[in-house]
Amino acid sequence: MTINVGISACVLGDKVRFDGGHKQNRFVIDELAQYMHFKPVCPEVGIGMPVPRPAIRLLQLPSGEERLVDTKNHEIDHTDKMIAFAEKKISQFDDLCGYVVCAKSPTCGMERVKLHIANNNTVPGGAVGIYTKTLMAKMPWLPIEEDGRLNDPVLRENFVFRVFALNDFYKSVRDNLSIDAFVKFHSRYKLVLMAHSPKAYKSMGPLVANIKDWDLDEFYQVYRQQFMDAIKERASRKNKTNVLMHLQGYFKRSLTKEQKQELNALILSYKEGNQPLLVPLTMIKHYMREYPDPYLQIQTFIDPYPEELKLRYGL
């Protein structure tokens, strides 16, 4: 499996930072690189800046406009060139299923990038890097995450899951655009939607049910955005418990009274935070092998990505 993912070149280990260094991320290199093909981009090098180079920053003008300028000489302004580069580069990204950006960078940061004002103070809350801001505007469905936030097990799992899900969507639907492809894809992700966004779970069912009333190309755009927005919401313990209980219901006629009690106890233990998700899921998967069910066997929630990534160990 090869999934195309964009990445800030310094996060991949390229020595392209302003000081000639890098910010290589070991999780990206050691784990994700086994499944993803990374396409590195350094926007600053992309617009012709050398390595090493003078530091740059985001500056908020009195009008509120944000500009990308030289730290020491605000008259040196890279904004227009950076936006032009970003728009051209992003136009080549149709095959991307995700993007890992460099935190705090005035070009690549995703949030809370220092935004300076003329007196050298900073604006509370910061801003988004110029390049990443353009990327997010042009591709609002794309999973984007900062290198530092990948150290958080919940954020890490959610990002990687979204990358695999978008890749699945492209392989299943984009490459075979049909009503049947949409229906089958949506059926496989029903429990995922239940876990991530019960609201989207309820609203997207009727959307798919009325697919015949849509132009397929238009439906593709609408469905992709709604689906990706829904799974961007982190699946809460409460929602995942509801999914586990829903799964449990499929075995009510197959399990003994003692087996039902044991599975229910594991689900409640997970609900109370005493067990990771993997514990009740492992038992459910065991029962799925003993008592196969066609609907459960296609549910992506059960195995959303390779278990070798060990992303559910801390959930």
Q: Which amino acid is at 188?
A: R
Task: For 211-233, write each residue's pLDDT tens digit.
Answer: 999 999 999 999 999 999 999 99
Whether the pLDDT of residue 167 is over 80: the answer is yes
Structure tokens at 53: 């180079």
* Strand intervals (E) in the chain: 3-8, 36-41, 56-60, 66-70, 99-101, 115-116, 144-146
Contact 161, 304 (CB under 8 A): yes
| Arithmetic mean of pLDDT over the chain | 96
Task: For 261-305, write each residue's pLDDT tens digit.
Answer: 999 999 999 999 999 999 999 999 999 999 999 999 999 999 999
| Vertex 309 angle, CA 172 and 193, to 5° | 45
Q: Map out the domains of the chain as residue ranges.
A: 3-151, 152-315
Q: How far apart are CA 56 and CA 235, in angstroms?
A: 38
Share of the chain above pLDDT 90, in %: 97
Whether the pLDDT of residue 315 is over 90: the answer is no
Task: For 234-270, write each residue's pLDDT tens digit.
Answer: 999 999 999 999 999 999 999 999 999 999 999 999 9
Structure tokens at 164: 């695999």
Q: Quick one: pLDDT band at residue 1, thresholds 50, 70, 90? A: low
Q: Which amino acid is at 170?
A: Y
Contacts by 272-281 with C-beta closer than 8 Å and gap 24+?
273/237, 276/312, 276/313, 276/314, 276/315, 277/240, 277/312, 277/315, 278/312, 278/313, 278/315, 280/244, 281/244, 281/312
Instruction: Give the pLDDT confidence score for residue 19 in this predicted structure.
Output: 96
Task: For 179-216, write each residue's pLDDT tens digit.
Answer: 999 999 999 999 999 999 999 999 999 999 999 999 99
Structure tokens at 96: 């991307």
Instruction: Give the pLDDT confidence score for residue 44 in this predicted structure.
Output: 98
Give the predicted TM-score (pTM) of the model.
0.96
**Residue 261 backbone dihedrals phi, psi, to 5 degrees:** -65, -40
Whether the pLDDT of residue 175 is over 70: the answer is yes
Q: How far apart are CA 247 and CA 28, in angstroms?
A: 33
